[in-house]
Structures are given as C-alpha cells and as structure tokens.
C-alpha cells in the first residue's frame, strides 16, 4: 500500500512511496492519479490504502465549500468509474476523535434497460383488486340504501371507478414524487411496483433505488418528495369524500338492523377532525368510498413520515440527524407507535428498521437550513395523520 502525510496543492509534485509488492505498477499509477485528483480539491493530511480491502482513504480538512468540492470530485472520478464516499470516522477506537475521510470505492456498473412486464402485470393486478374493493364498498347494503337502491348498475360502477381512481392516484403520484426527486439529483430508480391487496385492494407500491443519494440534501428530497404530493391528493379526496358522505339517518340504522347489520366507526386522525369541523360536518356520517380512499392516503402518508429506518421519514431523519442518532430516533418513534395503540404498524416498523441505513455518498456536507426546518416540521404530520388509539390495522 502507499501511505503519506502532507498538505494538498494542485502544483505540488506527487510524493513518492515504496511500491507495494502485491500491487501492479498500473494499479499503483491509477491510485496516484486518484490521489492527485483528490488533493486538487481538498486539503489532504494523510493518505493510505487499507490492506484489508485495498481501498484508498484520504483524511481531509473539512471546509465550508465541501458540498461544492465533493460534487466536482464526483464528476472528475466518473472516468475512473469510482465514487468518493465521505464519512466522519473515529480512526482510533475509543478516542472520540473523528476525522473527515474520503473513501474511494468502485461505482456500480450501469444497469441495462430491463423489461417493464413485471411492473405492468402488478399494476393491472392491482387495478383489478382495487376495483373489486371499490365494488365491495359501493354495493354494501348501507351504500345501496343511500343510492336509493338503483335499478341499474351504473351508480355502483361509478362509485367503484371513483374509488379506484382516487386510490391509484394517491399511491401512484406518491411514487412518482420519489422518481422525480431521484432523477432531479441524478439517481436511478425503477418504475413503481404496485402491490395487490385485500380489503382496500392494495398494499401500496414500492420503487427500487438503483443508485445511492449523492448528498444529505438529495436523501432528504428523496424522502420528502413522495409523501408531499400524495398527501395533497389525499387531502382533496378527503374533502370531496366528506361532502359526498351523507349523515347517518335513523332510517338507515333501522334498515341495517333488519339485516342484522350495524355501522362500525372509522377512527379519525386529527386532520380529518379539523377538516370536517371546518366544512361544517358534525355527527355520524356514512363514509363515501372516496373518503375512504383519502382516509387511507392519510394513513399511508402518516406512517411513511414516521422517522423510522428506511421509511420516507427515516430518510429525512437520516439526513437530518446523521448515522449516530438515526437509530435512536427510529426506536423512539416505534415506542410511540406502541404507546398509541398502533401495535401492528410498530412491529412492522421495527422489522424494517433492523438493518443499517446506508446513508448518502457524501455524508459530511451539511443539510441546508431550509431542509432542516422542513424536516423538523414534517415530524408533526404523523401526529395529524395517524388515528391515535383504537386502530390496530
């Protein structure tokens, strides 16, 4: 390996070092070129190659322009097919002294354009299951009573289609928000994989991140982008659904009683309570399927914004608090879910928080001030969007 001490300078001649016996001269030349590129961008105090993995590491002095310098370095390393990973590391365990380190690692190989057949098949399957769920809601005895027992299927089909459109719009636009945020920062992602489900018709959708976020800013935008646009569509669905939801009349309750049926209450999150009060809705209502779609969108967004693991809120927390405190914040959020009665979701969150969050490539450049403010405010959303107590999923 080569190892050196010294300061940077683009006009400084490369320092010589003893050529390692296990490294070819061509590889040594490339390493020296990489060293010089790094030294042209940063003040380097020490360079070494860890013998455990033969990966070059550069201890640098952190400065105010590190975000711009890291971006330039990333561009300059592309011809070498290398990534510069920035980390704060404790070089000698137990000392508590951390240094800013650049680790050069091979860039992931470009991915060949694949087939979208799986995406399309899952989407079509989800359309079918959501249509079936919409039919179930629209053809329920309570909805048929409200529709005046129609003599044809058109009103039922219309409600079914409206529910399906609302659900797929909320989930689809949520994922598109992630995709647009990723591409804006030069990250590669898959198309959404929709997941067919029971009762509501879907378990949501996922995308696969092909390349890591370059900075904390891009990791933050990745986490915040999807839920924001999904929340807006959910808000519209809740408002429209509330306006279409009739009050529960004595006649409806009497009719359901003759069938041996009753109405079950859907626990409302605080935001829906505020919206209903604002538009003058009081008392019991029969939830229109569009309202159910919006209510589900609020629930999905609320859980996604929890600062846990690799949830969307977990990405925000990782960008905001860094590796050291991200795990602590995740466990606190899981404990709160348990305390408010969301046992199933707390267990699910605990399962998905088990692994370590990989973080961005540049984990040293600070998050912008505006993002810090938005990130802190975003943690209020789970309080507003998740029904406290009485809802176990």
Beta bridge partners of 362: 86, 215
- Of 106, 138, 153, the residue at which a domain comes to its end is 106
* 310 closest CA partner among 178, 154, 184, 193: 178
Would you place residue 27 in the very low, low, confident or very high pLDDT band (cuts 50, 70, 90)?
Answer: low
- Identify the pLDDT of residue 142: 80
Residue 111 lies in a domain: no
- Identify the pLDDT of residue 18: 44
How far apart are the C-alpha atoms of 46 and 101, rounded to whole Å? 10
Residue 170 lies in a domain: yes
Q: Are residues 89 and 124 in the same domain?
A: no
How far apart are the C-alpha atoms of 302 and 269, rounded to whole Å? 10
Is residue 47 within a helix (H) or strand (E), and if so which, with residue range? strand 44-50
Q: Which whole-number Å values give the CA distances from 91 to 53, 122, 223, 339, in the listed order? A: 16, 47, 31, 39
Would you place residue 16 in the very low, low, confident or very high pLDDT band (cuts 50, 70, 90)?
Answer: very low
Q: Are residues 130 and 57 in the same domain?
A: no
Residue 147 lies in a domain: yes
Q: Which whole-number Å values give the CA distances from 153 to 159, 160, 166, in the listed order? A: 10, 10, 20
C-alpha of 263 from chain center: 35
305 or 283, higher pLDDT: 305
Q: Are residues 101 and 239 in the same domain?
A: no
Q: Are residues 168 and 95 in the same domain?
A: no
Q: Are residues 219 and 199 in the same domain?
A: yes
Tell how many helices (H) and how many strands (E) occur in the chain. Answer: 13, 7
Q: Are residues 18 and 133 in the same domain?
A: no
Average pLDDT score over residue span 288-294? 91
Number of C-alpha atoms within 13 angstroms, CB side, residue 187? Answer: 25
- In this predicted model, what pLDDT tens digit does every residue of 94-117 receive, in sequence order? 677 788 898 888 888 777 777 789
| C-alpha distance across the termini of the chain, in Å | 56
- Within a 10 A sphere around the Cβ of 353, how many other Cβ atoms? 21
* 295 closest CA partner among 234, 221, 243, 365: 234
Would you place residue 21 in the very low, low, confident or very high pLDDT band (cuts 50, 70, 90)?
Answer: very low
How far apart are the C-alpha atoms of 287 and 20, rounded to whole Å? 73
- In this predicted model, what pLDDT tens digit does every residue of 374-384 receive, in sequence order? 999 998 999 99
Average pLDDT score over residue span 352-357? 77
Q: What is the DSSP letter of 110?
A: P
Q: What is the DSSP string of 215-259?
A: BHHHHHHHHHHHHHHHHHHHHHHHHHHHHHPPBPPHHHHHHHHHT
356 or 69, higher pLDDT: 69
- In this predicted model, what pLDDT tens digit does every residue of 117-166 receive, in sequence order? 999 999 999 999 999 999 998 888 888 877 778 778 888 899 999 999 99
Q: Are residues 212 and 360 in the same domain?
A: yes
202, 300 in Cβ contact below 8 A?
A: no
Q: Are residues 151 and 96 in the same domain?
A: no
Lowest-pLDDT range of 231-240, 274-283, 372-381? 274-283
Per-position b or e across 375-392, b if 16+ CB within 10 A of its CB: beebbebbebbbbeeebe
Q: Are residues 123 and 21 in the same domain?
A: no
Residue 101's domain comprises 11-106
Residue 378 lies in a domain: yes
Q: Are residues 158 and 202 in the same domain?
A: yes
Domain harbouring 51, CATH code: 3.30.1360
pLDDT at 341 over 60: yes
Residue 361 lies in a domain: yes
**Residue 298: is it exposed, middle or buried by C-beta count within 10 angstroms (0-12/13-18/19+)?**
buried
- Identify the pLDDT of residue 393: 42
Helix ranges (DSSP H) in the chain: 25-41, 66-77, 117-138, 141-146, 154-184, 216-244, 250-258, 270-278, 289-304, 312-339, 343-352, 369-378, 381-385
Q: Are residues 132 and 222 in the same domain?
A: yes
pLDDT at 301 over 60: yes
- Identify the pLDDT of residue 11: 39
How far apart are the C-alpha atoms of 283 and 248, rounded to whole Å? 8
- Of 54, 86, 106, the residue at which a domain comes to its end is 106
Q: Are residues 135 and 43 in the same domain?
A: no
**Residue 172: is it exposed, middle or buried by C-beta count within 10 angstroms (0-12/13-18/19+)?**
middle
Residue 260 lies in a domain: yes
Q: How many domains does the chain have?
A: 2
- Identify the pLDDT of residue 268: 83
226, 181 in Cβ contact below 8 A?
A: yes
Order of strands across the sheet that contains 44-50: 3-5, 44-50, 55-60, 98-106, 82-90
Residue 4 lies in a domain: no
Contacts of 245 by beta carbon, 8 Å cutoff, 6+ apart: 281, 285, 286, 287, 288, 291
Q: What is the DSSP letter of 95?
A: S
pLDDT at 23 over 50: no
Residue 112 lies in a domain: no
- Of 106, 126, 159, the residue at which a domain comes to its end is 106
Lowest-pLDDT range of 16-20, 308-312, 335-339, 346-350? 16-20
């Amino acid at each position: 390996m080569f190892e050196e001490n010294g300061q940077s300078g683009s006009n400084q001649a490369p320092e010589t070092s003893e050529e390692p016996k296990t490294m070819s001269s061509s590889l040594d030349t490339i390493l020296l070129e990489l060293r010089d590129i790094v030294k042209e961008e940063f003040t380097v105090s020490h360079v070494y190659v860890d013998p455990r993995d033969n990966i070059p590491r550069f201890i640098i002095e952190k400065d105010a322009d590190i975000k711009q310098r890291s971006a330039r370095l990333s561009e300059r390393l592309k011809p070498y097919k290398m990534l510069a990973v920035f980390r704060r590391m404790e070089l000698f365990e137990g000392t508590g002294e951390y240094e800013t380190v650049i680790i050069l690692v091979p860039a992931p190989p470009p991915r060949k354009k694949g087939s979208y057949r799986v995406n399309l098949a899952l989407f079509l399957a989800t359309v079918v299951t959501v249509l079936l769920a919409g039919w179930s809601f629209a053809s329920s005895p309570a909805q048929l009573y409200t529709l005046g027992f129609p003599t044809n299927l058109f009103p039922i089909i219309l409600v079914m289609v409206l529910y399906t459109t609302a659900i797929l719009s909320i989930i689809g636009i949520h994922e598109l928000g992630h995709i647009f945020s990723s591409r804006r920062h030069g990250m590669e992602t898959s198309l959404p994989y929709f997941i067919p489900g029971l009762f509501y018709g879907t378990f949501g959708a996922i995308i696969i991140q092909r390349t890591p976020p370059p900075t904390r800013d891009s990791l933050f935008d990745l986490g915040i982008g999807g839920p924001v646009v999904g929340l807006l569509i959910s808000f519209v669905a809740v408002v429209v659904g509330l306006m279409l939801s009739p009050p529960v009349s004595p006649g409806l309750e009497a009719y359901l009683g003759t069938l041996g049926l009753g109405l079950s209450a859907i626990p409302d999150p605080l935001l829906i309570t505020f919206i209903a009060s604002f538009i003058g809705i009081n008392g019991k209502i029969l939830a229109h399927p569009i309202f159910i779609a919006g209510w589900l969108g609020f629930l999905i967004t609320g859980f996604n914004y929890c600062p846990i693991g690799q949830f969307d809120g977990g990405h925000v927390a990782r960008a905001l608090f860094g590796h050291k405190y991200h795990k602590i914040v995740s466990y606190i959020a899981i404990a709160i879910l348990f305390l408010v009665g969301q046992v199933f979701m707390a267990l699910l969150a605990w399962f998905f928080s088990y692994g370590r969050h990989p973080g961005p490539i540049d984990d040293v450049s600070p998050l912008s001030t505006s993002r810090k403010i938005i990130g802190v405010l975003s943690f209020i959303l789970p309080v507003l969007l998740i029904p406290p107590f009485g809802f176990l999923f």
